[in-house]
């Protein structure tokens, strides 16, 4: 009889893991807090689009989904660095288009993964939040959107419920996992550059011959300004999602000293004068969109024997500056599904082996992501850095 796995969280990592486990003969039920995005529309919390890199693409290839995803993605050949004096230049990621990354919509990707998992036989239960777990009794407690709670049997439960994981909290309550959360002290806010057709034509960069986009679409744009920066990633329909990264407080500029669109507009006029005119809805975006906080999660223990395991952000949330959180979570799914298929029923050994294999990788990516913040907001515009890059040293 097929082994039954209960998964908490039907986000990017949960949906891909569910698809791969079902494809390997496991019976999988996923409980997801939010409503079904394919019916209710996608309720984003953060980052409207994401950079998909080789690490994540490799996992999607294993799942047979890479081509479908790439059809909905925009290729980014390198960093387009915009300096204070209004100049810009592309720093390619590789020598040619075999080394690129891709901008994908979080909502579209999540829905594609849900469809693929359902097609593989996964059962999704939307509007169901994990509230608590009794690991010794093999049961979990869920609440629906009205807050009505119920208990179900779940002898093996995997948490893909993100950085604020409720399963992790329940596991920690049972046995301390050695959790440490390091806040970055910097935060972010998202703004939008609409498709070129909605902007005055003199603002649109037509140098690359792309009528639909206000800026070169095949690049990850960065406006580095020392202690802070803006970035922009393209969306298939011609818009860009701009993310402003600033200290949360204790400095100027920071989100504390730029509490509203009026203060932020003056700051953009001074620091990002070429970005501001491209954001016609600046006041609504700035005042309406939340400030997101950023931190790195370190855990000593990712599992409770063979009863419970954490994957993706629930196990190793990182800051987004290497664009690798989802990519790393996707890599988790390939490793875990293959270990589980190799030793069905032996979850205690499999979960321990999964942590042994994956933790050094996620620790390394966490460190690289922290380093890359300094590089993106500062070094990429430094003449010494650029000279070294031209000499092939970086
Ligand atoms: P999540 O995406 O957080 O999904 C968790 C799911 O669990 C959600 O659907 C949630 O509703 C559900 N859930 C939560 N609590 C419960 C509960 N109690 N019960 C049931 N369900 C629950 N990564 C990249 O690779 N490239 C990028 O370019 C990139 N850019 C980023 C930019 C920003 C600003 C941020 C903040 C992150 C970025 N990341 C990026 C990281 C990426 O967003 C995460 O690594 C990725 O979303 C992790 O996926 P996940 O499925 O583990 O968690």
Summarised one tens digit per residue, pLDDT across range 173-227 is 999 999 999 999 999 999 999 999 999 888 888 777 788 999 999 999 999 999 8
Specify the CATH architecture of the domain 4-45+105-179+296-373.
Answer: 3-Layer(bba) Sandwich (3.50)
Q: 3-state DSSP call for residue 342?
A: helix
CA–centroid distance, residue 388 to ligand 1 (Å): 35
**Residue 307: CB atoms within 10 Å:** 19
Atom of ligand 1 nearest to the CA of 314: 52
Pick from 321, 375, 366: nearest CA to 51 = 321
pTM of structure: 0.95
Instruction: Sheet containing 74-76: give its strands across.
Output: 49-52, 101-105, 74-76
Reading the chain (394 residues) residue by residue, the pLDDT tens digits are 789 999 999 999 999 999 999 999 999 999 999 999 999 776 655 568 999 999 999 999 999 999 999 999 999 999 999 999 999 999 999 999 999 999 999 999 999 999 999 999 999 999 999 999 999 999 999 999 999 999 999 999 999 999 999 999 999 999 999 999 999 999 999 999 999 999 988 888 877 778 899 999 999 999 999 989 999 999 999 999 999 999 999 989 999 999 999 999 999 999 999 999 999 999 999 999 999 999 999 999 999 999 999 999 999 999 999 889 999 999 999 999 999 999 988 999 999 999 999 999 999 999 999 998 888 877 666 655 554 454 333 3
Q: Quote the CA–CA distance of 42 and 150 in Å, as a whole number.
A: 26
Summarised one tens digit per residue, pLDDT across range 71-122 is 999 999 999 999 999 999 999 999 999 999 999 999 999 999 999 999 999 9
Q: Are strands 139-143 and 240-247 parallel, antiparallel or unpaired?
A: unpaired
CA–centroid distance, residue 328 to ligand 1 (Å): 11
Q: What ipTM was estimated for this complex?
A: 0.99
CA–centroid distance, residue 160 to ligand 1 (Å): 9
pLDDT at 384: 56
> Among 189, 320, 322, 331, which residue has the most ligand 1 atoms within 8 Å of its CB, making it the best to mutate?
320
Helix (H) or strand (E) holding 372: helix 347-377
Atom of ligand 1 nearest to the CA of 325: 45
CA–centroid distance, residue 313 to ligand 1 (Å): 6
CA–centroid distance, residue 107 to ligand 1 (Å): 11
Which residue's alpha carbon is nearest to atom 51 within ligand 1?
A: 13
pLDDT at 211: 83
pLDDT at 394: 35
Q: Quote the CA–CA distance of 360 and 323 in Å, as a whole number.
A: 18
CA–centroid distance, residue 333 to ligand 1 (Å): 14
> Among 51, 106, 114, 162, which residue has the most ligand 1 atoms within 8 Å of its CB, making it the best to mutate?
162
pLDDT at 380: 65
Burial (CB count <10 Å: 0-12, 13-18, 19+), residue 16: buried
pLDDT at 382: 62
Rg (CA), the chain: 22
Q: Are strands 157-159 and 308-310 parallel, antiparallel or unpaired?
A: parallel
Ligand 1, CB within 6 Å, residue ranges: 8-14, 31-34, 46-47, 50-51, 129-130, 160-162, 166, 188, 243, 292, 312-314, 320, 323-327, 329
Q: Quote the CA–CA distance of 210 and 89 in Å, as a whole number.
A: 17
> Among 10, 11, 101, which residue has the most ligand 1 atoms within 8 Å of its CB, making it the best to mutate?
11
Q: Quote the CA–CA distance of 294 and 291 in Å, as a whole number.
A: 10
Atom of ligand 1 nearest to the CA of 53: 25
CA–centroid distance, residue 277 to ligand 1 (Å): 31
């Amino acid at each position: 009889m097929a082994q039954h796995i209960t998964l908490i969280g039907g986000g990017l990592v949960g949906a891909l893991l569910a698809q791969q486990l079902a494809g390997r003969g496991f019976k999988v039920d996923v409980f997801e807090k939010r409503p079904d995005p394919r019916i209710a529309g996608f309720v984003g919390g953060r980052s409207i689009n994401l950079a998909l890199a080789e690490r994540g693409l490799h996992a999607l290839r294993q799942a047979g989904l890479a081509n479908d995803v790439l059809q909905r993605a925009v290729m980014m050949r390198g960093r387009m660095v915009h300096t204070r004096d209004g100049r810009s230049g592309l720093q390619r990621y590789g020598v040619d288009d075999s080394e690129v990354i891709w901008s994908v919509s979080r909502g579209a990707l999540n829905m594609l993964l849900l469809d693929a998992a359902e097609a593989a036989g996964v059962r999704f239960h939307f509007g169901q939040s994990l509230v608590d777990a009794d690991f010794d009794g093999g049961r979990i407690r869920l609440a629906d959107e009205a807050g009505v709670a119920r208990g179900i049997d779940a002898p093996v439960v995997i948490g893909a419920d993100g950085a604020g994981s409720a399963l992790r909290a329940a596991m920690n309550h049972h046995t301390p996992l050695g959790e440490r959360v390091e806040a970055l002290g910097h935060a972010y806010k998202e703004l939008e550059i609409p498709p070129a057709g909605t902007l005055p034509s003199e603002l649109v960069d037509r140098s690359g011959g792309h009528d639909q986009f206000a800026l070169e679409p095949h690049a990850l744009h960065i406006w580095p300004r020392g202690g802070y920066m803006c970035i922009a990633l393209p969306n298939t329909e011609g818009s860009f999602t701009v993310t402003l990264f600033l200290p949360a407080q204790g400095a100027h500029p920071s989100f504390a000293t730029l509490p509203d669109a009026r203060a932020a507009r003056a700051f953009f006029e001074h620091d990002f004068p070429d970005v501001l005119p491209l954001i016609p809805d600046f006041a609504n975006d700035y005042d309406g969109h939340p400030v997101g906080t950023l931190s790195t999660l370190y855990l000593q223990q990712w599992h409770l024997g063979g009863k419970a395991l954490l994957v993706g952000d629930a196990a190793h949330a990182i800051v987004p500056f290497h664009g690798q959180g989802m990519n790393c979570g996707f890599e988790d799914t390939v490793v875990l599904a293959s270990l589980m298929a190799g030793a069905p029923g032996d979850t205690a050994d499999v979960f321990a082996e999964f942590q042994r294999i994956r933790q050094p990788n996620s620790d390394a990516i966490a460190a690289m992501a922290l380093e890359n913040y300094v590089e993106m907001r500062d070094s990429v515009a430094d003449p010494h850095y650029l000279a070294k890059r031209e000499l092939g040293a970086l």
